[in-house]
Structure 1
Amino acid sequence: MTNAVSTDMAAYYAQRDNFDEEDIENPEGMAALDEIMEKLEESLAGQRVLELACGDGYWTDELAGFADYVLATDINPGLLEIARSRELPPEVVEFVVADAMDPQVEGSFNACFAGFWWSHVRRQDQADVIARLRKVIGKDGLLVLVDNSWLEGRTAIARTDADGNTWQIHAAPDGQRYEIVKNYPTDSALRKRLGPLLRDMRIHRYDHYWMLTGRLR
């Protein structure tokens, strides 16, 4: 173990075998999460979905219940093995190793979903990421993002960089400390960044989460 702080986000998440503790299973936000699940089904039912950064398959498990097809991707093979252990229907769900920042995947998709991942994309990289997704999903493809909202007095930020990205410090199970980018965009910031790249954009704001839907221009 080293006392140095690492910025290798993939290495940090490779050590975490689930995301429930920090990202999802917040008892105070469960009612909002139920509503998000309903909206997710409304948006993605019957769709062919590319899922980015699926992690341990929490969201994949939900998508499998109503999507026509899901290609669940993650950069960490170990996390994909955990996701595969959910034994989701193979005719609906497939798993493949891929970098969410530039998913080099094959297949026909009309939608893309990412849960608790967009906050890790640096502001200066966001337009390029959307451009790469458009090459995979195609024009008019549906983009659905779900992520954490800022909680006043409870969200801990270590620093803000020159580009406006906020960073947090997390400790992995082995004690290694990691500095991870974790942005909490306002509605106006989302519209400013993504408005020129999406049409029919809708933002649903909750106390603990936000959800965005839009079609790629």
Structure 2
Amino acid sequence: MTNAVLTDMAAYYAQRDNFDEEDVENPDGMDGLDEIMEMLRTQLTGQRVLELACGDGYWTDELAEYADYVLATDINPNLLEMAKTRELPEDVVEFAVADALNPQVEGEFTACFAGFWWSHVKRQDQADVIARLRNIIGKDGLLVLVDNAWIEGETAIARTDAEGNTYQIHSLPNGDRYEIVKNYPADSALRKRMAPLLKELRVHRHSHYWMLTGRLR
């Protein structure tokens, strides 16, 4: 345990073992999550999907049911090993170590998906990340993002930096404390930032979650 607040987000997630409970399956928002799951199926059925920051494979497990192909990537090899224990169909799902901010991957993809990751991308880096994805997926490729919504009275923010990024403090069982980038964009902010980068842009908002879909310009 250290008294300092750490900032290595990859190191933090490498030591987490409760992704579903803390990040995804909020019991007060399950109706919204179910609706997002159905929309995800509609969007990504038959697609060749590059999944960013797959973690322990929670979303990969879903995508494997209807996508033609999924390359599930994460910067942490140990998380990929956890994802592999789900025993997903090998003819559909492959895994690769890659940094979601600058994925160096090979393959032919028609779509990119990231679940509960976009909120960790700093505002000043977002356009560059989309440009890199366009180089991989190609023009007109489908982008689908799902993430947490701000919940009044529940969401805690530790600080906001000069660029408008917000941060939270998360603790591990061993007592180590990490400062994590966690942005909660409003629909208007998502549209303003993404409209120059995406066409056919749609934002679906629920009480605990939001989903964005669009095609790369």
TM-score by length of 2: 0.99
Determine if the alignment matches structure 1 residue 130 to structure 2 residue 145.
no
Once the two structures are superposed, what CA deviation does each residue of 1:81-103 show, in whole Å capped at 9, x if it has no partner? 00000000000000010000000
Distance in 2 between the 1:96 and 1:111 partners?
Answer: 17
Distance in 1 between the 2:173 and 2:64 partners?
Answer: 30
The amino acid of 2:167's aligned partner reads W
Instruction: State the 1:173 CA deviation.
Output: 2.1
The amino acid of 1:95's aligned partner reads F
The equivalent residue for 1:87 is 87
In the TM superposition, what are the counterparts of 1:177-216 in structure 2 within 5 Å? 177-216=177-216
In the TM superposition, what are the counterparts of 1:22-41 in structure 2 within 5 Å? 22-41=22-41
The equivalent residue for 2:106 is 106
Determine if the alignment matches structure 1 residue 162 to structure 2 residue 158.
no
Determine if the alignment matches structure 1 residue 73 to structure 2 residue 85.
no
Once the two structures are superposed, what CA deviation does each residue of 1:102-152 show, in whole Å capped at 9, x if it has no partner? 000000001000000000000000000000000110000000000000000
- Displacement over 3 Å in runs of 4+: none
The amino acid of 1:38's aligned partner reads E
SS at match of 1:72: strand
Is there any run of 5+ residues in structure 2 with no aligned partner, and where?
A: none
Distance in 2 between the 1:50 and 1:68 partners?
Answer: 11
Distance in 1 between the 2:17 and 2:99 partners?
Answer: 18
The amino acid of 1:22's aligned partner reads E
TM-score by length of 1: 0.99
The amino acid of 1:182's aligned partner reads K
- Computed over aligned residues only, the root mean square deviation of the Cα atoms, in angstroms, reads 0.6
The equivalent residue for 1:97 is 97
Distance in 1 between the 2:169 and 2:27 partners?
Answer: 23
The equivalent residue for 1:142 is 142
SS at match of 2:185: coil
Instruction: State the 1:17 CA deviation.
Output: 2.0
Is there any run of 5+ residues in structure 1 with no aligned partner, and where?
A: none
Percent identity at matched positions?
80
Distance in 2 between the 1:151 and 1:39 partners?
Answer: 22
Instruction: State the 1:42 CA deviation.
Output: 0.4
SS at match of 2:104: coil
